Amino acid sequence: MKISFTLNGKATAVEAPQDMPLLWVLREKLEMTGTKFGCGIAACGACTVHINGVATRTCVMPVAAIEGAEIKTIEGVAPAPGELSAVQSAWLEHQAPQCGYCQSGMIMAAEALLDQNPDPSDEDIDNAITNICRCGTYERVRTAIHAAARARREA
Amino acid sequence: MSNHTKPSSNVAKIARRTFLVSTGVVGGGVALGLTLSPNRLKMHRDDAASGDEVILNTWVKLTPDNQLTVIIPHSEMGQGVGTGLAQMLAEEMEADWDTVAIQQAPADDNYINSDLGRGYIVGEGAQIPGFVYPMLDFAFLQISKGLVGQITGGSTAIRLTGYYGMRRAGAAAREMLMRAAAEEWGVSANSLRAENSRLYHDASDRSAPFGAFAAAAARFAPNLKPTLKAPKDYKIVGAPKRRLDLPEKVTGEAQFGMDVIVPGMKYAAIAQAPVFGARAINIEDPGNAAQKIVNLGDAVIVASDSYWEASNALRQLDIRWEGGDATLTSDALRAMHNAHLGETRHEEIMDKSGNAATLLQAADAISVEYAVPYLAHATMEPMNCTASVRDGKCDVWVGHQNPIEARDDAASALGLKKSDVTVHNTYLGGGFGRRGRTDNVVQAVRAAAEIGAPVKLIWSREQDMTNDFYRPAVVSRMSGLVEDGKISAISHAYVYSDAGMPDSERPFAFQYDVPNKRIARHPYPSPIPVGAWRSVDFTQMGFFNESFIDELAHTAGADPLEFRHAHKSDPRHRAVLERLADEANWGRPETPGASQGVAIVDSFASIVGQVAEITIEDGNRVRIHRITSVVDCGQVINPNAAEAQIHSSVIFALSAVFFGEITLQNGEVIQQNFPDYEMIRLRNAPEQPVRFIKSDLPPGGLGEPGTPPVAPALTNAIFAATGTRIRELPLTRAGFRSI
């Protein structure tokens, strides 16, 4: 079936089986590979994108369910080409990624958290960021989220 | 090695002497490898340079506009290897760090690790005679296969490639540029100095960028013994330079194997034999013309226009598997291990003074058993590989820890020459030892050949979890006797499956001064595949040894940290413990009512001591407030990346301690995905202060040494808090869980 939605601000239409998860539509039909496959059961968060502003794990989200929705992926986070979002900048400032594979999902989860909560406590971060990172970047991720929150508040 | 009745220390001594002498004689032969032969320019792959770039030696390219590219022969799997190696090269070259870029080396014989060995042991250009292999094995502290591969493993990139290779390549390149400038300016090379990618002749007030001499410099043969800088003069090495691979890892642009797109490719899903060793003898296909089915024998692959469709089609197949041992269970395996521990047939790997057995018959000797389970790697990026086979040539896109072996195995599976296979190595979404294996590569190339189109093979998480080369389960019996506050005898017997770690690494060593030691290994080939898992045998042995010394300390009524210190004569070990006591506030936990546990393990030429500070909530929930690490890894190349490696090792180990256990039922692995093979997440990740001992000694490994002390530091803290001694992992076996 044909599904239409807004992807990173652009009207987009794809032809895909209606139960095909959004993850695979993004990666294979639209060839946007920044969003990662990790577990296929919404347990790890590597596939996190924003659907209407809500951080959502897309490996179990049928594409039919996003008809008309606003989708934002890691490729659409930066304010302009060649620039970085406050979260991305903090990620670099604090050298958070290691292998980097889970970091798109981690960044999307952090962006959504800060959109809703401009000054999260450690506990807020614990509750919101449940993504798995096998490289164990958690301590720097936490530091980077606090730093990004500060930068966004001061911007 | 088949005979372990004698200690290997003699071999070790000879090897070390040989290697020191050789270093003095051939020096930079190590660094420049094949580039040192007279026709060196022909030995570069033409595609390593483009446009007006000039290759100065195997590992460095310079452009006329003064941009420097360091070619990295190791794979990037999270450790920041490219940045560290480039720092070492740029330091010796006196390069401007802002002009430095890195590039992944092609999977090419020019970059295989044995070039290091060749220069090292027998001089540049010579072949390695077979008898030297065991020595190389020691000298390189790595899996012997690394000698004929281009391997990233064994925590070797910085301490071997970097220390012996990159530094000399940088220094030799600088000298070549100086010779070129001296010729052009008509002055002596000695009167020149290099700084920030420029050459200066102060007497005549002339200066020019490196790039102005790139082409002229390439005419000179690299010096075998370039002058190296003293550590006190380092400006780039030791600085927390930002990793060069991270910008594209925050934008989603970094390309992992999973992200490769080849025009016209099919997406493939795979079902591997659920029972190890079984074969697919019949496939009932409901019939769907859009799919292609490939029976590889031990696996069935379905290819389609998307992974989703391929997965669904695969699920609809009725595959009949036959063979393998469908009765195998973890309990049965454990019983076999236990029985084997009692058998007399074993390898005596260390028997110092031979008096241990007698002493340990004393009434007050203690003897306890430990056990650790099989563990999966569970890299964030599930295994995958993309392959194209056409006109007798094969291209492979994969993130691999040993791309040369991937190439060779692909060639062998297809009956092609190695030179007809090109491996395009991508970023690795985690490796931890798993991505040194080539099962996924062979599957992908066979499927691509059979289907007649490029294929991207993707393993589901369930396939990844149930078809690993697992960290071996080990059972262990440790006995010891404390007399007058000192350990007089230790005996360790364990049942063990070989995961590929050479004995020269001595993971089994009880790293304390004890007059009578006996270590007996009972080999027991694993019925399921096993392999290297971050820090390999040190994970199991570190847990046994560091738990047992804690038990002995408590037996002796001694402080566990002081007791360790009293049994160490190595000044580096002692210094780590002293610093650790200070940094971790040993005996005075920062959190009121908290308990502490300590452990220290020397592995991959680095010493890591850790203190876990915990409280127990609701009787069985473990809250880790912090894990403090003190590390002596010799020179620290990049403090920021070094700290990240310790953070990473600690979290990796904690996931295993709390949750990690692969079990078998009916010959099949039970655990499928993260809910039943859970991981530490942000909310239960402890604070992690990491301190490095300041040192000018050669760098040790850092990708793995942070892992082994974690489990015992934590279980020793749990003992301090509760009086419960954890002798089996994971913690759930003793009823403890994470907060």
Residues A65-115 have pLDDT tens digits of: 999 999 999 999 999 999 999 999 999 999 999 999 999 999 999 999 999
Q: What are the boundaries of each domain within chain B?
A: 9-250, 257-323+383-458, 342-374+470-738
Determine if the peptide bond prior to B730 is cis (ω within 30°): yes
> In this predicted model, which residue has the larger pLDDT, B329 or B142?
B329
**Least confident residue range of B97-106, B416-425, B538-547:** B97-106
Q: What pLDDT, on the 0 to 100 scale, is given for residue B362? A: 87
Which of B261, B308, B379, B680 is the best mutation test for A, with the most CBs of A within 10 A? Answer: B308
Residue in chain B closest to A122 (alpha carbons) equals B683
Q: What pLDDT, on the 0 to 100 scale, is given for residue A74? A: 98
Arithmetic mean of pLDDT, B282-304: 90
Q: Are strands A54-57 and B664-665 parallel, antiparallel or unpaired?
A: unpaired
Q: Of the ranges B13-27, B52-66, B201-215, which is most confident?
A: B201-215
| pLDDT band for position B134 (cuts 50, 70, 90) | very low
Nearest to B311 by CA among A42, A37, A13, A133: A37
Q: Which of B458, B648, B673 sits opposite A136 (nearest CB)?
A: B648
Our CA dihedral for B695, B696, B697, B703, rounded to 10 degrees, sits at 60
Query: Is residue B635 within 8 Å of residue B623, measured between CB atoms?
Result: no
Arithmetic mean of pLDDT, B20-49: 27
Arithmetic mean of pLDDT, B378-393: 97
| pLDDT band for position B41 (cuts 50, 70, 90) | very low
CATH architecture classification, B9-250? 2-Layer Sandwich (3.30)
Chain segment B100-122, per-residue pLDDT in tens: 999 887 776 555 554 444 333 33
Residue B32 has pLDDT above 70, yes or no: no
d(CA B26, CA B23): 6
**Least confident residue range of B51-60, B388-397, B691-700:** B51-60
> In this predicted model, which residue has the larger pLDDT, B252 or B524?
B252
The ipTM (two decimal places) reads 0.98
By the CB < 8 Å criterion, does B461 face chain A? Answer: yes
Are B680 and A136 an interchain contact pair (Cβ–Cβ within 8 Å)?
Answer: yes
CATH architecture classification, B257-323+383-458? 2-Layer Sandwich (3.30)
Chain segment B474-533, per-residue pLDDT in tens: 999 999 999 999 999 999 999 989 898 878 788 999 999 999 999 999 989 999 999 999
Residue B271 has pLDDT above 70, yes or no: yes
Arithmetic mean of pLDDT, B674-685: 96
Residue B571 has pLDDT above 90, yes or no: yes
By the CB < 8 Å criterion, does B309 face chain A? Answer: yes
Q: What pLDDT, on the 0 to 100 scale, is given for residue B287? A: 74
| pLDDT band for position B20 (cuts 50, 70, 90) | very low
Q: What pLDDT, on the 0 to 100 scale, is given for residue B132? A: 32
The string of DSSP letters for B350-377 reads EEESS-HHHHTTSTT-EEEEEEE-BB--
Q: What pLDDT, on the 0 to 100 scale, is given for residue B290? A: 67
Name chain B contacts of A120, Cβ cutoff 8 Å.
none
Q: What pLDDT, on the 0 to 100 scale, is given for residue B500? A: 83
Q: What pLDDT, on the 0 to 100 scale, is given for residue B102? A: 92
Chain segment A38-52, per-residue pLDDT in tens: 999 999 999 999 999
The percent of residues above 70 in pLDDT, for chain A, comes to 100
Residue B355 has pLDDT above 60, yes or no: yes
Are B380 and A132 an interchain contact pair (Cβ–Cβ within 8 Å)?
Answer: yes
Are A97 and B246 an interchain contact pair (Cβ–Cβ within 8 Å)?
Answer: yes
Are B647 and A101 an interchain contact pair (Cβ–Cβ within 8 Å)?
Answer: no
Amino acid at A87: V
User: Within the 69-108 window of chain A, which residues sit less than 8 Å (CB to CB) from chain B?
Assistant: 73-75, 77-78, 84, 88, 91-92, 95, 97-104, 107
How many angstroms separate the most distant Cα atoms in chain B? 85
Q: What pLDDT, on the 0 to 100 scale, is given for residue B24? A: 20
Q: What pLDDT, on the 0 to 100 scale, is given for residue B54? A: 60
Arithmetic mean of pLDDT, B38-45: 30
Q: What pLDDT, on the 0 to 100 scale, is given for residue B219? A: 80
The percent of residues above 70 in pLDDT, for chain B, comes to 84
CATH of domain B342-374+470-738: 3.30.365.10
pLDDT, averaged across chain A? 98
Q: What pLDDT, on the 0 to 100 scale, is given for residue B119? A: 37
Chain segment A117-127, per-residue pLDDT in tens: 999 999 999 99
pLDDT, averaged across chain B? 86
Query: Is residue B455 within 8 Å of residue B266, measured between CB atoms?
Result: yes
How many CB atoms lie under 10 A from the CB of residue B587? 10
Chain segment B69-87, per-residue pLDDT in tens: 888 888 899 999 999 999 9
Residue in chain B closest to A80 (alpha carbons) equals B251
Q: What pLDDT, on the 0 to 100 scale, is given for residue B109? A: 58
Residue B615 has pLDDT above 60, yes or no: yes
Arithmetic mean of pLDDT, B313-326: 95
Residue A155 has pLDDT above 90, yes or no: no
CA distance B681 to chain A (A): 6
The string of DSSP letters for B117-176 reads HIIIII-TTPPPPGGGHHHHHHHTTS-GGGGGS----TT-IIIIIIIIIIHHHHHHHHHH
Q: What pLDDT, on the 0 to 100 scale, is given for residue A126? A: 97
Q: Do domains B257-323+383-458 and B342-374+470-738 have the same CATH topology?
A: yes
Q: What is the CA radius of gyration of chain A?
A: 15
Q: Is B254 left (phi over 0), alpha (psi -120 to 50) or beta?
A: beta
